[in-house]
């Protein structure tokens, strides 16, 4: 195995594996693991390429400030190269991005500016427009501008494309490739490469529901109205300046739910931990494969690693909150309990446990209160305020048992009560403790009720 002098030397030459357990119809599906790049995504390629091309032109030099608007992964690719090459980096990121990506960016030294994800291009808070404005207002700053930068598709035309064709030659070539489109660099670069070197390869776009691109490809109409979607990194509400869709003849619109479930299926069946856009691409690729009547070699990108989405689509509670996983319906208040006690999902503490243990569980599971259980019997509840008031002025009291600080007078609600009966409990600043006679079922918080109401609207 070769010894490398820089992490940047590991960008590219990512492996391809054949899917074995997915239903691919008559086709053979190959997974291009861009998640194996050092920054965890296909965007490492353009992050390095755009900086190095600017260096060669003399546009930037070490010590300069770079600015970009990014859905996250391009930012990580840029941060990787900027860190190694000695640049300051300011990244404008929409607030729907996973916190893992944001933590990653900050840990690499990038300055992260969060902005709204519910506004379209042309709005001053739209992440690309805000990034351009910050670059213009920052003396000496260089705006990377992945959406209008020809170095973006060039990285794929002369790097990713030839690499794929070289790898797929071992299995007889490539009949179709499935990709997503954000800045459109991957699609545009591959399209140009394949036009010259593999013109029979069909280009298939996977697009989130809400994006305008699927309609543009399949019906030739360019809508000025877009929706919103939770999948990160792909889908657009405009045509990027560097985009070239002329060779793309087929597109699939994929819902958030189908995207997340496909990504989870990829992990369950193939052992590949992919991100949210990887789920979109996989769902589209499987639909394409199953529609074919003759065998084809089809390749799909695993665009990035699912490590960046552990708090979202790989979190069952997040999936349940957003209505992406089905839950058993009872027609009573059990339908609002996110963590049922009977399933051992409720985070609890015992009356003889230490207060420091209660505090640690609140922090670990990101909850504000804990039922206090003596076996199967509910004996109290302890929340952040109870712990704070007990230990303030004498931190040694963290070693006191939970029973010394817990509340014994409880706001209990019968499981058959109406949803409206929760409102007075919340108005008192409490959580609803749902009981079936003497049996504790779980807690309902304000956010649980809000999530329930939102799911009903959906």
347 membership: H or E segment, kind and range: none
Tell me the percentage of the chain whose pLDDT exceeds 70: 100
In tens, the pLDDT along 199-236 reads 999 999 999 999 999 999 999 999 887 788 999 989 99
Mean pLDDT of 437-446: 93
Tell me the percentage of the chain whose pLDDT exceeds 90: 82
| CA pair distance 297, 291, nearest whole angstrom | 14
From 277, 296, 308, 312, the catalytic residue: 277
In tens, the pLDDT along 133-184 reads 999 999 999 999 999 999 999 999 999 999 999 999 999 999 999 999 999 9
Whole-number Cα distances in Å, 451 to 87, 92, 238, 372, 447 = 42, 28, 31, 25, 6
pLDDT band at 295 (very low <50, low <70, confident <90, very high): very high
Question: Tokens 């990027």, residue?
Answer: 240
**Structure tokens that stand for 433 in this block:** 């403790």
What does the pLDDT read at residue 145? 95
From 35, 41, 43, 276, the catalytic residue: 43
| CA pair distance 252, 273, nearest whole angstrom | 22
| CA pair distance 6, 4, nearest whole angstrom | 6
What does the pLDDT read at residue 458? 64
Mean pLDDT of 99-113: 91
pLDDT band at 1 (very low <50, low <70, confident <90, very high): low
pLDDT band at 345 (very low <50, low <70, confident <90, very high): confident
Is residue 418 among the annotated active site residues? no
Q: Is the pLDDT of residue 244 over 70?
A: yes
Helices (H), ranges, 124-247: 127-137, 151-155, 161-168, 185-197, 213-219
Query: Closest Cα to residue 72, out of 273, 213, 263, 231?
Result: 231
Beta-bridge partner residues of 274: 305
What does the pLDDT read at residue 121? 82
What does the pLDDT read at residue 224? 81
| CA pair distance 300, 157, nearest whole angstrom | 17
Helices (H), ranges, 306-400: 316-321, 355-365, 384-391
Is residue 409 among the annotated active site residues? no
CB-count exposure of residue 15 (10 Å: 0-12, 13-18, 19+): exposed
In tens, the pLDDT along 41-96 reads 999 999 999 999 999 999 999 999 999 998 778 999 999 999 999 999 999 998 87
What is the 8-class DSSP label of residue 201?
Answer: P
Burial 141-175 (b: 16+ CB within 10 A, else e): bbbbbbbebebbbbbbbebbbebbbebbeeeeebb
Q: What is the pTM of this model?
A: 0.87
| CA pair distance 278, 301, nearest whole angstrom | 7
What does the pLDDT read at residue 342? 86
């Amino acid at each position: 195995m070769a010894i490398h002098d820089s992490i940047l030397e590991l960008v590219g030459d990512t492996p391809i594996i054949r899917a074995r357990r997915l239903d691919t119809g008559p086709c053979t599906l190959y997974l291009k693991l861009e998640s194996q790049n050092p920054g965890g995504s296909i965007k490492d390629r353009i992050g390095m390429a755009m900086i190095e091309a600017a260096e060669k032109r003399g546009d930037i030099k070490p010590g300069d400030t770079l600015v970009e608007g990014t859905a996250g992964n391009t930012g990580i690719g840029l941060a990787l190269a900027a860190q190694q090459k000695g640049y300051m980096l300011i990244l404008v990121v929409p607030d729907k991005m996973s916190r893992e990506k944001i933590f990653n960016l900050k840990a690499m030294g990038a300055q992260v500016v969060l902005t709204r994800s519910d506004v379209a291009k042309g709005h001053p808070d739209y992440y690309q427009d805000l990034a351009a404005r910050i670059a213009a207002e920052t003396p000496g700053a260089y705006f990377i501008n992945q959406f209008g930068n020809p170095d973006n598709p060039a990285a794929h035309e002369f790097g990713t494309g030839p690499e794929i064709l070289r790898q797929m030659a071992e299995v007889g070539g490539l009949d179709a490739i499935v990709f997503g489109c954000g800045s459109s660099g991957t699609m545009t670069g591959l399209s140009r490469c394949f036009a010259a070197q593999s013109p029979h390869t069909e280009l298939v776009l996977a697009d989130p529901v809400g994006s305008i691109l699927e309609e543009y490809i399949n019906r030739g109409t360019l809508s000025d109205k877009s929706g919103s979607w939770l999948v990160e990194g792909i889908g657009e509400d405009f045509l990027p300046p560097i985009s070239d869709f002329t060779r793309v003849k087929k597109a699939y619109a994929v819902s958030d739910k189908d995207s997340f479930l496909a990504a989870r299926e990829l992990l369950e069946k193939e052992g590949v931990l992919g991100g949210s856009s990887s789920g979109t691409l996989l769902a589209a690729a499987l639909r394409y494969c199953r529609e074919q009547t003759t065998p084809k070699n089809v390749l799909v990108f695993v665009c990035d690693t699912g490590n960046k989405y552990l708090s979202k689509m790989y979190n069952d509670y997040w999936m349940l909150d957003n209505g992406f996983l089905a839950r058993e319906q009872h027609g009573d208040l059990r339908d609002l309990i996110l963590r049922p006690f009977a399933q051992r999902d409720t985070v609890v503490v015992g009356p003889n446990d230490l207060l420091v243990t209660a505090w640690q569980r609140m922090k670990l599971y990101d909850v504000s209160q804990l039922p206090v259980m003596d076996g199967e019997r509910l004996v109290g509840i302890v929340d952040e305020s109870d712990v704070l008031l007990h230990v303030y002025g004498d931190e040694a009291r963290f070693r006191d048992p939970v029973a010394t600080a817990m509340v014994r007078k409880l706001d209990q609600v019968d499981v058959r009560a109406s949803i409206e009966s929760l409102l007075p409990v919340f108005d008192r600043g409490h959580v609803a403790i749902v009981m079936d006679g003497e049996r504790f079922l779980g807690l309902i918080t304000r956010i649980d009720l809000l999530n329930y109401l939102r799911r009903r609207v959906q």
